[in-house]
Structure 1
Amino acid sequence: MGDEENLPNTVAMLGQAYSLLGFKIVDGVVGAGYPQKPKHSAVFAQIRPEGSRVTDLARGANMTPQAMGELVDELVELGYVVRTRDPDDGRAKLVTLTARGQDSVRAGMATIQGIEDQLDALLGPEGRQALRRLLATILTAVPD
């Protein structure tokens, strides 16, 4: 019990885990040949296969449309996404993944699976499932 008293609070530990895992995912994607920055995951985590509007990406990432637009601009320059006309509204643009962007997402998913495997090794499959249940409880109980 004494060791637990020396640990940061739960919220701080969740934040540290989030940062650590985010950097591990980016390292895996970059290591697979798809250079990007951790902040770009705000786009990759939100974009739908059929494409997404910048405003929807921003809302999902809890950031301003202007900040999301800057991230999208960077990813356009890197060849991961393109802006296309929204077929439902000719005045709007959709952000869609290029083939390179899709490959980057696949590299990210492979990295995430590797992390899941590491969690199984560390916690055991039952421990990882218990962690998932606890996190799901927190995510569904905490209001927006």
Structure 2
Amino acid sequence: MEQDLPEQAGNTIAMLGRAYSLLGFQIVDGVVGAGFPQKPSHSAVFGQISREGNRLSELARGANMTPQAMGELVDELEELGYVERRPDPTDRRAKLIVLTPRGHECIAAGIATIQGIEERIDQVLGAKGHAELRRLLGKLLTTD
């Protein structure tokens, strides 16, 4: 029995996916426009790296990626001057991925871009609508 494919325009999952992609590209565009070249895939690192740094395996697990794929992203970010590998003070065999000063500046540009997007959402939905959107998304994300 052949099933009908869901209508993409009215499908909630498709709409959330499109919003995620659109907003992700807007963040990258803002950061690149501020003078910090990067790719959307780099958000897998920038979105979760801690101030103290992280092991590659932690970053990979947090992004639901293989360590090899995460290693490629870290290599690219290292070439761009955003991160560096340092010895882990708790384990001499391990390395920590840490932000460079340029990496911190890049994240600051990302935060400023996100704040601008949040303001745009306020303009489009109004403060109450934006708060309701956040409440509903929070509910979706915490439902088991």
Q: TM-score range by the shorter chain?
A: over 0.9
1:74 corresponds in structure 2 to 76
Moved over 2 A (4+): 5-8
2:66 corresponds in structure 1 to 64
1:25 maps to which of 10, 20, 27: 27
| Residues in 2 aligned to 1:93 and 1:8: alpha-carbon distance in whole angstroms | 46
Task: Determine helix, strand or coil for the equivalent of 1:13.
Answer: helix
1:7 offset after TM fit, Å? 3.2
1:6 offset after TM fit, Å? 8.3
Query: Which structure: greater helix fraction?
Result: 1
Asked if 1:37 corresponds to 2:32, the answer is no
Task: Determine helix, strand or coil for the equivalent of 2:104.
Answer: helix
> Deviation digits for residues 49-82 of structure 1, max 9, x if unmatched?
1001111111111111110000000000000000
| Paired residues of 2:8 and 2:14 also in contact (CA < 8 A) | no
Count how many residue pairs are aligned between Structure 1 and Structure 2.
Answer: 138
User: Equivalent pairs: percent with the same residue?
Assistant: 67
Where do 1:40-119 residues align within 5 Å? 40-119=42-121
Of the structure 1 ranges 104-113 and 132-141, higher mean CA displacement relative to structure 2 is found in 132-141
1:140 corresponds in structure 2 to 142
Structure 2 segments unaligned to the other structure (5+ residues):
1-6
Task: Determine helix, strand or coil for the equivalent of 2:75.
Answer: helix
2:4 corresponds in structure 1 to none
1:36 offset after TM fit, Å? 0.4
2:18 corresponds in structure 1 to 16
1:27 offset after TM fit, Å? 0.1
| Residues in 1 aligned to 2:121 and 2:111: alpha-carbon distance in whole angstroms | 15
Q: 1:6 to 1:90 in 2, by over 3 A?
A: closer
